[in-house]
Structures are given as structure tokens and as C-alpha cells.
Amino acid sequence: MKKLFSILLTVALVAMLGAVVFAANPDTKFKAVNGTAVVDGIKDEIYTAADAIPVAVTEDGEMAGTAVVYAAWDDTNMYYFCEVTDPTVTPADACSSNYQSDSVEIYFSFEGYSDDITTINAGQYTIGPNFSAWAGRGGHWDNYVADAKFAFVMTGKGWDIEMSIPFGSEYKVAAGNEVPFTVAFNDDADGDAARDYQPMIATGQTSAWSVVDDNYNTLIFSDVKFEPVVEVEEAPAAEAPAAEAPAAETVAEAPAAPAPAAQTGSSLLLFIAVATAVGVPVITTAASKKRK
């Protein structure tokens, strides 16, 4: 019985060790936020809710530039926004080889780990500033590159590039799904269209262009849904009622001037005097005295 127990324990330990060896890099899982981005080379607000993915590990010396990548997803597409610090950019007229010129490469596999990226539902999508078309390989790339989109913007520190890659009909995305993936930055440090460095997310990923192995990172299609902040305009404050004009003051009218009193005595005497002077007989109303 003890011997059987020992055998079972040994088998379990071997299985556990095997799981550790072939599992994805445990410290490099990154979340893509749920939502739709506008592919125009300008960082949408949606990416602020996604994990920042540093692309800054190189195995061939000190690099001149680095990149930070953000990911999002909706029902039909993956979205990637890459902020690249790059002091020297490959001139447009020198971009004869895509992976030798300044560019980023997105790798992923919708079929888990495999020895051959080119024949399965996996892809390597390569694009950079001044590019006129995608480069890449993989079964997914062959089928869906025609529907992928990109846009770039030159910045004061280098360049930003944004892309959308369709999931395709063979893969059913859902919140919580995890896929092997990684990102590389091809750095033409002196602008001569010959790659000098290739920073990636983790060590041991230089064969990502052909092999999906345990050195790949993991991208999680998070159930965190980006909800844009809607600014509600406040209703304008009600205006205070206009102050009523003060009531007009009533101005007292001046009393009418009294009519002039009738002038009888003095006026009559004046009349009699004038009439007498001119010889006009005057008849008065006074009673005449009778002669005796």
C-alpha cells in the first residue's frame, strides 16, 4: 500500500512539474479592457482602463527605445495602442524591410501552444510608422489581414500606432478567455533601415515569429467594461426676478387760483366819472329824492 502511495505521489509531482514548465509566464499576464476603440492613432480614453504592457526587455544589448502597449476587445476585434519612445525613426523612403525598420509586432495564438505558428489559427502582425501595408505570417494573418486596420501619429518622443485585428469566425471570444501572446518592438536605432534591437515583454521570446511556446505572455479578455464618463450639463440657474420699478409718486396738484372777485364799487364810480366827462347821461338805480 505504501509503495502504491509513493508511486502515485511521484506521478503527481511529475505532473505538477510538467505543468510549471509548460505553463505561460506566470508574472506576465495582462488584461485587455472590454470596449470599442476608434483606430486613428490617438489614445482613446478606453485604454486608461487597460493594463500597461511594457515592451522593454532585450537580449542583445542596451536599447535606444521602448514601447508601452494597451489592449482592448469587443465582440469582433482586438485593439492595440502602442506608445513608442524612439529618438530616431526609419525614414519613409527607407522602409524596404518591415521587420528591419521601426515597427511593432503583435503575436497571438487562438489555438494555445504549438510548434508552428504558420499553420494554425495564430498570427504575427507587423506594422510601423510610414508603412503602407502590413507584414506578418500565421494562419490567422493569412485569413484576416485584409480586415485589419492601423493608424499612426508622430509624437515629440517618437510615434504612436493603433491597430484593430479581427477575431475571425473560428474563434469565439468571451470575457475571461486567455490566449498566449506577446509584443516586440523592432528598433532601427540609427535610421539606416537595419534593426539594431528588438525589445519584447519577457526574455526568451525571440522565436515568437515561428513558435508558440511557454515563453509567451498571456492576454486576458477582461470582463471589465469601459464606460465613458458622460458629462451632464447642469441646467442654468434660474434668473432672479427683475426688481419692480418703484410706484410713481403722486404729485399733488396745485389748487386752482380763485376767480377774481367782482369789482362793483370802484369800477362803477370810474364808469360814472368817465361818462359825465363826455356828457353821457347816467341812470343809476339809486332812488331819486322827491322835491317838496
pLDDT in tens, 53-87: 999 998 776 778 899 999 999 999 999 999 999 99
Q: Which residues of 218-237 are buried (b: 16+ CB within 10 A; e: fewer)?
A: bbbbbebebeeeeeeeeeee
Spell out where 187-288 has E strands.
Answer: 217-225
Do the Cβ atoms of 204 and 215 come closer than 8 Å? yes
Task: Specify the pairing of strand 29-34 against strand 66-73.
Answer: parallel
**Where are the alpha helices (H) located in 88-200, listed in sequence order?**
139-144
What range does the domain containing 66 cover?
24-225
pLDDT level of residue 272 (50, 70, 90 thresholds):
very low
**Beta carbons within 8 Å of 143's beta carbon, 6+ residues apart:** 168
Residue 257 in domain: no
Euclidean distance between CA atoms 236 and 232, whole angstroms: 12
Lowest pLDDT segment from 10-14, 87-91, 100-104: 10-14
Give a yes or no: residue 121 inside a domain.
yes
Tell me phi and psi for residue 132, to 5 degrees: -105, -10
Q: Is residue 65 part of a domain?
A: yes
Residue 234 domain-assigned (yes or no)? no
Length of the chain: 292
- Nearest Cα to 112, choosing from 244, 245, 212? 212
Cell of 109: 495564438
Question: Is 141 inside a domain boundary?
Answer: yes
pLDDT tens per residue across span 10-52:
434 333 333 323 344 545 899 999 999 999 999 999 999 999 9
How many helices and strands (H and E) does the chain possess?
3, 11
H-run or E-run covering 9: helix 2-22
Residue with cell 487562438: 110
Helix (H, G, I), strand (E, B) or coil at 32: strand
Whether 176 maps to a domain, the answer reads: yes
pTM of this structure? 0.71
Residue 271 falls inside a structural domain: no
The CATH code of the domain that includes 55 is 2.60.40.1190
Q: Are strands 66-73 and 77-85 parallel, antiparallel or unpaired?
A: antiparallel
Number of domains in the chain: 1
Assess if residue 100 is contained within a domain.
Answer: yes
Mean pLDDT of 131-158: 96
Q: pLDDT tens digits for 192-251? A: 999 999 999 999 999 999 999 989 999 999 999 988 777 777 767 666 666 665 555 544
Joined together, the cell numbers standing for residue 245 give 420699478
